[in-house]
Structure 1
Amino acid sequence: MDMDLNDFLSALQTAARSVGAEVTSPWFYLQLGLVMAGAGIAFASSAAIRARVDMTSLAMGWPGPLRQLLRVLVDSVANVVFIVLMRIARTAMVLWTWPSRSYLLAVALKLALAWLVIRLITSVIRNTFIVRVVSISAWLVAALSIIGELDPVLDALDSVSVVLGGLRLTPLLVIKLCVLLVAALWLTNIASNFVEGRITRSTDLTPSIQVLLIKMVRMGLMILAITIALSAVGINLSALAIFSGAAGVGIGFGLQKIVANFISGIILLADKSVKPGDLVTIGDSSGRISAMNTRYISVSAGDGREFLIPNEDLVTQKVTNWTYTDKNTLVKVNFGTNYDADPRLVCKLAKEIAGHTARTMKSKPPNCLLTEFTEAGMKFSLTCWIGDPSDMDSVKSEVMLSLWEAFKREGIRVPYPVREIRVRGGALPVETTVEVPT
């Protein structure tokens, strides 16, 4: 390791002497002036061109990838102009003097060209942060290669190491692993999205099976990508066995809830007890399942709220699934009348109203029963069937409004308590009686 560090320091001294000799030459300042002038002209030209180019009208009707490529080219106008100017200046310097006297122009030209190529290649990536990281990293590697310092830097990064068991970790190894992981996971995401689209369009699979297959494919591709990346950098997977015990302890104690929710999610997808689109009631939360994720399900209440319920709760608690085997739902309306009403007429009116109400099922006729005689009057129970449980409240309200109109029309009264307060002789004791008209 000491020998590698000495070689690195020696290389730095040699590079410093070379740079010092270059800086003392008058040709260096001429090239530097040309580079700065070219950069100024390039930025001015870019501002003028971009002010006159309307991207919306120019790329209208173009495919998405071509529009993205055109946008990158317009954003890189300054770079293109700088490359052209540096190429002209470099050619002129080579023709008029020694090629070594235009070395700085050649380096500036290659660096600008490398940045343009990298920006065009990374234009296919949608994530802005990843584009920035990949572009800067790739350009730094290209810059070190252009100035001839890539191999010394790689050797220096590989000279420092930490040995853990049978695994030798170096900065170079970590950088390679990160680059390969990013590339592998990006390709995995593309493949997963493609497979997800094919599975979603399949009409032979139920929604729960589709979600289960999509999650299994994503997880399998992710594990495969990580395995390939580790093997590509030369890491023997058996060398990571030292970390398996710590990972097991972490899963057993710190991650037990996450693992429980993950396993519960797989069980829910496999047994089809709930699926996206079902109307469910879990505790005090009711709504339609909008998504099933690895850790939780999302239940939309219909009023803008989303309940995120852990998968473990669906396995261990009571769940009411209104659409498990059948979407048909029984709607029950309880009401009462006074004793002056004809109970047979009341039942007939209630059944006719429920039968003519929209969204009630005609194949299952409604029914009305006299359930109880009370002090306040007679109690009735009207039942009817609907095809969608989400309409339960609105259908019930519509039936009750129609009942009220029919009772007003037929002179049928609904019992309600009447309270009369009597005060005798201005004294404090108060006698309260309750009369209920019949």
Structure 2
Amino acid sequence: MESDPTPILQELQALAEQGRGFLQSLTRPGWRLYQIGILLALFALAQLGAWALYGRLYGWLREREGWPMWRFRTALILLRRLRIILLVVLAWVTVWAMREVTWPSRSYLVAIGATLATAWLFVGLAARLVRNPFLRRLVTWGLWVYVTLYIVDLTDEAAALLESVRLGMGDLQLSALTLLKAAVVTGVLFTGARLIATTSAARIRRDDDISPSMRVLIVKLLQLGLYGAAVFLGLKLAGFDLTGLAVLSGAIGVGLGFGLQKVVSNLVSGVIILLDKSVKPGDVISLGDTFGWINALGARYVSVVTREGKEYLIPNEDLITSQVVNWSHSNEFVRLDIFFGTAYSDDPHRVRRLAIEAAASVPRVLGDKPPVCHIVGFGDSSVDYILRFWIVDPSEGLTNVRGAVFLALWDAFRANDITIPFPQREVKILPGSRLAAAPPD
């Protein structure tokens, strides 16, 4: 801390004098002391009321079947703040009653207590919009302190005290007040940015006119822009000089660029993938030995789920630099080939007809792109065929539909006496060999 301790001590002494004078005034017999007693009694009543009502209200809430989830959450949030809600109600009723039967000045401290309790309640409820626990606690306590100082008219003195506490780093001078304002303002702006991003993202995902990959890109760019704007705007509104910060961030960026080349490459590759629409969520792809459908596109990786339920996180760079088979890039049609053979004694025209009928009987095989069967060669033991058919749902699996066609072929050939040969070897014992000369057992 590079600051002169004299101003800090002077501000602390001034605040201490004001606090001592205020406490001394409360200890003198009179309406101020009575109002302190009334506030303590109201707090005790609110505590007793919370103890008495919490169990009943919680049990009643558990019986509310059919309520939407947002209503349950709102009710639980209010139930957890039952004590301060009762305190607010009791305090304002007491203020109204005292102003009706006596002078307004005799309810001054009770009114301040009611105002403080109301402000604390609304700050606690509003802070629920901040999801990050640490940031939520920081915003909550910062606003509680601020509204308390504002209501008791000590904002100028507290601001002067925080301004006198400074942190110096070369030409950059930061006060405790600036840091506190930056934290609170940035937290509030972050909350607003999150609400806007969530609402906008939900609308973008429901827009069927935008391709899935472009939806992901738009949502990510929107989030990046909103959160970045919240940070820089919060620092600017808090009084930060961003000139030095820009130079420092540039130097840090150069260092990170050398150390995080792979990460940056994956980030850039992710943007390229979203822009050229080569892959998108729901596509069925093959990359090396990995076959599955794309579950999600991330900033650094692509999530691919296989038929075994395994989820592979493939770096975006691999999808750019490696050969990727996209089974559903331009359309969902996929052609599959099956090789089989039959005996030379079987009529090949009949075999082809039975094979086509067997493939067409499988539900996933397309009828508007009918199967075809061709002879591809004459083998040592069989006439070799290829059976080709089309499907339109590769995400449902390829091995299972091949197995179903093979099973249909087996049933059709068994029913029509078509033989599937297998290699056979004939062993001859030549005269004069040891086996020929050996006596039988």
What amino acid sits opposite 1:175 in the alignment? L
**One of 119, 140, 165 as aligned partner of 2:145:** 140
Structure 2 residue 265 is the aligned partner of structure 1 residue 294: no
Structure 1 distance, partners of 2:196, 2:346, is: 71
Structure 2 counterpart of 1:389? 394
Deviates more, 1:385-394 or 1:398-407: 385-394
Corresponding residue for residue 45 of structure 1: 49
**Identity rate, percent:** 34
For 2:413 and 2:78, the matched residues in 1 are separated by 76
Partner of 1:281: 286
Equivalent-residue separation in structure 1 for 2:175 and 2:162 (angstroms) = 7
Q: Distance in 1 between matches of 2:192 and 2:218?
A: 19
User: Structure 1 residues 153, 411: CA separation in 2 closer, same or farther (over 3 Å shift)?
Assistant: same
Q: Residue deviations 1:23-67, cap 9 Å, x none?
A: 754678866655444333212212323333323667966895x76
Q: Which residue of structure 2 aligns with residue 14 of structure 1?
A: 17
Deviation at 1:268, TM superposition (A): 0.7
What is the rounded CA distance, in whole Å, between the counterparts of 1:80 and 1:389 in structure 2? 58
Shift in alpha-carbon separation, 1:304–1:133, aligned structure 2, 3 A: farther
Q: Which deviates more, 197-206 or 178-187?
A: 197-206
User: Aligned runs of 1:4-403 on 2, under 5 Å?
Assistant: 4-15=7-18, 17-18=20-21, 21-22=24-25, 25=28, 34-53=38-57, 54-55=60-61, 64=70, 71-86=76-91, 105=110, 108-122=113-127, 131-390=136-395, 391-403=397-409
CA–CA distance in 2 between the matches of 1:415 and 1:59? 66
Q: Which stretch has the larger CA shift, 49-58 or 182-191?
A: 49-58
Distance in 2, Cα, partners of 1:25 & 1:94: 25
Who is 2:439 aligned against? none
Letter matched to residue 4 of structure 1? P
Q: Note if contact 1:336-1:415 (Cα within 8 Å) is conserved in structure 2.
A: yes
Contact 2:302 2:315 in 1 (8 A): yes
Q: Distance in 1 between matches of 2:356 and 2:68?
A: 61
Cα distance in 2 for residues equivalent to 1:60 and 1:349: 57
Partner Cα distance (1:205, 1:85) in 2: 54
- 1:111 is paired with a residue of what secondary structure? helix
Cα offset, 1:231, TM superposition = 2.0
Residue in 2 that maps onto 1:433: none
CA 1:263–1:384 in structure 2 vs 1: closer, same or farther (change >3 Å)?
same
Does the CA-based 8 Å contact 1:69-1:120 persist in structure 2?
A: no
Q: Report the more deviating stretch, 379-388 or 9-18.
A: 9-18
What amino acid is aligned across from residue 354 of structure 2 in structure 1? Answer: L
**How many pairs were matched up?**
421
8 Å contact kept, 2:341–2:382: yes
Question: 1:16, CA displacement in angstroms?
Answer: 5.4
Query: What residue in structure 2 maps to residue 411 of structure 1?
Result: 417
Q: What letter is aligned with 1:40? A: A
Measure, in 2, the Cα distance between the counterparts of 1:106 and 1:352: 89
Q: What is the alpha-carbon distance in structure 1 between the residues aligned to residue 46 and residue 16 of structure 2? A: 35
Change (3 A) 1:342 1:104: same
| CA shift for structure 1 position 329 | 0.9
* Letter paired with 1:38: L
Greater shift after overlay, 153-162 or 396-405?
153-162
Give the 3 Å change call, closer, same or farther, for CA 401–7 of structure 1 in structure 2: same
Gaps (5+ residues) in structure 2?
A: 428-433, 436-441
Post-superposition shift, 1:243? 0.5
For structure 1, which runs of at least 5 residues remain unmatched after alignment?
422-428, 431-438
**Which residue is equivalent to 1:424?**
none
**Do 1:279 and 1:323's aligned partners in 2 also have CA atoms closer than 8 Å?**
yes
Aligned-pair Cα RMSD in Å? 3.6
Q: Distance in 2 between matches of 1:8 and 1:122?
A: 31
Equivalent residue letter for 1:9: L
**Inter-CA distance 319–16: structure 2 relative to 1 (3 Å threshold):** same
Q: Which amino acid aligns with 2:13?
A: S
Instruction: Give the 3-state SS of the residue equivalent to 1:330 in structure 2.
Output: strand
Q: Which region of structure 1 is more displaced relative to structure 2, 328-337 or 133-142?
A: 133-142
How has the CA–CA distance of structure 1 residues 109 and 326 changed in structure 2, closer, same or farther, with 3 Å as cutoff?
closer
Q: Is contact 2:362-2:404 (8 Å) kept?
A: yes
**Range with greater deviation from structure 2 (338-347 or 28-37):** 28-37
Residue 403 of structure 1 deviates from its aligned partner by 1.0
Question: Which segment drifts farther, 350-359 or 103-112?
Answer: 103-112
In 2: Cα distance, 1:282 partner to 1:63 partner = 41
1:106 positional shift: 5.3
In structure 2, relative to structure 1, the CA distance for the partners of 1:303 and 1:40 (3 Å cut) is farther
> Which 10-residue stretch deviates more, 292-301 or 236-245?
236-245
Task: Pick closer, same or farther for the CA change 1:123–1:248 going to 2, 3 Å.
Answer: closer
> Aligned-pair distance for 1:184?
1.5
